[in-house]
Amino acid sequence: MALQDVCKWQSPDTQGPSPHLPRAGGWAVPRGCDPQTFLQIHGPRLAHGTTTLAFRFRHGVIAAADTRSSCGSYVACPASCKVIPVHQHLLGTTSGTSADCATWYRVLQRELRLRELREGQLPSVASAAKLLSAMMSRYRGLDLCVATALCGWDRSGPMLFYVYSDGTRLQGDIFSVGSGSPYAYGVLDRGYRYDMSTQEAYALARCAVAHATHRDAYSGGSVDLFHVRESGWEHVSRSDACVLYMELQKLLEPEPEEDASHAHPEPATAHRAAEDRELSVGPGEMTPGDSRMPAGTETV
């Protein structure tokens, strides 16, 4: 028998308006208030954090990022992908609001595909960065939060650009974005060289992200590593950040010291050497380290 037949229970009208949500047509704000200004002042402030990095070297472009998506003190997803492919020769790291980053990368993929169909070839990395910067700059001041590093290989070789949601566009060799970027920059500035080998670049990227996840509370999970070559990008590995940091610490541990008996002579040996030195010195002689006056020079 159904529940409503036993206790005369009636299901709520799910089609009608909910008392906890505003009416259809928009969110209700006090009269005389601009919705955008009201949400900026009274809206929720949730801290976001991440660690992403990219650097250019002679064998291509390396992109690495952690996989923790945080929302304040809450870990929303421990295994998210913060490196998004655009096409076979272009990908980008994402930092900021996850929804904004995913949306604008879908828009960029669509626009680049349309331009490829019109022109018959893929646009350069610089053109893609300029296009993304121009599109996002129109939404300046609307709480759009997207910070990305575009990594690609075109006719000019390996290229790296940083693009921010306010329209900022920079070209460089090293970029790190997110709350863990100061720690990542410390490792990158010490070990980066343009003529690195591929394995040295992999080790440097893993080390930088692993140290950042250890110090930054909003970064963690795993370390995703991508490599953009002339033939296209490839996903190199995904390593657990905690295990990777512990392995790096073991490599940095100092070697055990030598036996103390070899480093420091025994006290008896030192005492015997001092006695032999005293016997070899005559009664009227004075050694350089002896502060006593000889017996023949004493005065009455």
Q: Which residues are catalytic?
A: 50
Whether the per-residue pLDDT at 271 is higher than 80: the answer is no
Please give the pLDDT value at position 17.
43
> Both tokens of residue 198?
């591929």
Sketch out the chain's domains with CATH numbers: 52-251 (3.60.20.10)
Q: What is the mean pLDDT of residues 98-111?
A: 90
| pTM for the model | 0.69
pLDDT bracket for residue 187 (50, 70, 90): very high
Q: Are 223 and 213 in contact (CB under 8 A)?
A: yes
Please give the pLDDT value at position 291.
45
Q: CA-to-CA distance for 49 and 181, rounded, in angstroms? A: 10
Whether the per-residue pLDDT at 113 is higher than 90: the answer is yes
pLDDT cut 70: percent of the chain above it: 69
Please give the pLDDT value at position 274.
54
Please give the pLDDT value at position 45.
59
Please give the pLDDT value at position 211.
93
The tens digit of pLDDT for each residue in 17-64 reads 444 444 444 556 667 677 667 666 665 555 667 899 999 999 999 999
User: Cα separations (Å) of 164 from 70, 94, 160, 250?
Assistant: 20, 10, 14, 38
Question: What letter represents residue 111's amino acid?
Answer: E
> Both tokens of residue 208?
């930088």
User: Cα separations (Å) of 148 from 54, 71, 164, 211?
Assistant: 10, 19, 6, 21
Please give the pLDDT value at position 183.
93
Please give the pLDDT value at position 234.
93
Q: CA-to-CA distance for 96 and 147, rounded, in angstroms? A: 6
The tens digit of pLDDT for each residue in 213-262 reads 998 888 888 999 999 999 999 999 998 988 888 988 887 776 666 554 45
Q: What is the mean pLDDT of the chain?
A: 78
Whether the per-residue pLDDT at 163 is higher than 50: the answer is yes
